[in-house]
Structure 1
Amino acid sequence: MSSRLYQPVTAGALHLKNRIAMAPLTRNRAPGAIPTPLMAQYYAQRASAGLLITEATAISPQGQGYADVPGLYSTEQLDGWKRVTEAVHQADGKIVVQLWHVGRVSHTTLQPGNAAPVAPSAVRAHTKTVLIKDGVPTFVETSMPRALDLDELPGIVQDYRHAARNAIACGFDGVETHGANGYLLDQFLKTGANQRTDDYGGSIKNRARLLLEVVRAIVDEIGGERTAIRLSPVTPANDITDADPQQLFDYVLAQLAPLGLAYVHLIEGATGGPRELAERPFDYAALRDVYRKAGGTGAWMVNNAYDKALAEAAVESGVDIVAFGRPFIANPDLVERLQRGAPMNPPDRATFYGGGAEGYTDYPTLF
């Protein structure tokens, strides 16, 4: 009997042919922040996934934090994304775009006018971003940010709204709001980055305010059934921490529940690292219960170091969708490989970030 992992599922307006999603994967192959025809080929190759989630995509020039990552705010970018969505749909796939504002995880050379990156508070992230120097991706320390003024926040909410509208105009099946991994919305959520004393800092309610305003604006623009959220309660990615993540995310999920979201995407443990953190225990099953009891109907998607056995067990235990990240880099036909128990192509880490077709669209399939 085939595992439920390979059977269809509905997530809001998204009718998916299986319960395997391709997680967002930054690949730094969009010079000038414009999606390329090569990107269209890359995503179409992986369209056997039930859902493709694009690499994180900046909602505005201010939201950019890495070299050669795409945006969703100019005519040229929208034209590039239209080629991507058309290619995926021709391959019978479904695709959503991940909306991104990096906040403090940026560098002055990537910001308009070489300005300082913005953040909830002027607290530097002890992490690195990627610049392209002489054609070579280079990791550099992020720049010192400035604190956003209160009157700037409505404009950021509107940038998210506008990006969501652009996404639907480009042919995307929906959007995933990036509220994870230490980027802007996560920075506002968590005590390690948010030292504000106004209505957007201090209490859990205040720290969650911006994320909730953003998601509500997107839902108002394109409908909850095409809107999703990605969250990472305990990851230390990009130097992010919180004093009480269980209480924080119980509140956030209870507030999101009435919005009728397509799905909630949870990163379990440390992004790209251990699934369990002894110093940061977290009860994900309890969080899902909070969401369901508050009326949340969206699909529940999990992510981080899942293999075939873990994924099949997860859906049998009530998870709706499992997202795979790095396995999709080297295995465009990952769904078939998982279902058959076939061996996986090894990834070439040297080609993860930047470059062309090598290590991007040239991995072999089973047939």
Structure 2
Amino acid sequence: MAIRKLTASQPELARVREGVITGYLFKIIRESIPRTQDELAEDLGVDKSTVQGWESGRRPLPATKAGNLIAIRRRLLRLGASANLVQLMHTSMDADFILGVLLAEPTTGRLAGDHPLAGWVLNRDTTHMLAWAMSGILPGSVAANTDTPSARRGPVAVAPLLGQPEREQVFASLRHAAELAERAGDDGALLRRQARYLCGYDRTPDATTWLARAQRPRKAPAGWSPQWAEDRSLAASLARRGDPEQLLDFIARSLGDDASEAANLNYWAHWVGVDTRPQSDDSFMARQTPGWDAAALLRNFTDRLARAFEYTDLYAHSVWALLSARPGLLSADRALACDLAASVGQLLDGDAISPQSRRELQAVHYGLRLSGVSTDRP
């Protein structure tokens, strides 16, 4: 169902800026070249009002004809824009599509299977683009390719942050989607999982209560299952909100056998973009032949191990599991092994990890020593 058809039946939401995320990213790209709005309009052969409309979301870039959008992206590259930022426009448009549906979605009338979160597994970049609009937090993929937008004088936004009424609508739509999915049983597992995870960006007290109700006491599933995937996402969402207990329990009770360890690593590879294949449901997690670059995943873990504080224990376990399955990684890339040794040493010297994580990182530390990597710590 098209976004415009949904908004057409909801006059009070007709002013929703359907391209707000892409528009703000476009502004960052323009400023990084750098160009003023007047200058870029001349470069692209459009009016200044068109550039202003793109950046504000009043004239959504995602609604631009495909051929024109390709030409715009190529022109930005020729003007000196970061190729990584231009590439992220695909991701931001995906996020804008989902956001537009959430903002225009009535609370009745949509089947769980028709929801955009029901047939496409989000990765980290798309999720963080959505979070940019819901919380104002700059995505790491954007921050890595430009300076963080500086504060400006006057009423100029420094993020594509939605207004309070729009944020309330987004989270109400997500909760409704999760409830629809609950009634759909296993067929609603992906929608339920992803809607609940995104609700974790709602910082209001009632959101905490709502998420807590999703913590149903039940036996931990053995190996991968849709329930396993839901439990993992809910535990991660709660950890991001400052409640690590369910994540620690998930690591202790729902990881350890071959199937669950493979599922955890497969999901990580998809989430961080090491595995770029699109997925329409969560069953890819059960794949026993990964098809992704294990060294690239270890590099990602290493870069974030000592600084992703809310997920440190899950990162620590995942590093241990990956090296248990692929011990040759330590000798294949000496620079990576040395960086991993530094991150592991930093965590072992502190007291921010669980006893299980400490045991697992000590095993990694020992493996590094056996591989000839210096693990001496000052």
Q: Fold conserved (TM > 0.5)?
A: no
Q: Write 1 or 2 for the structure with the bigger share of helix.
A: 2
Output the TM-score relative to the length of structure 2: 0.31
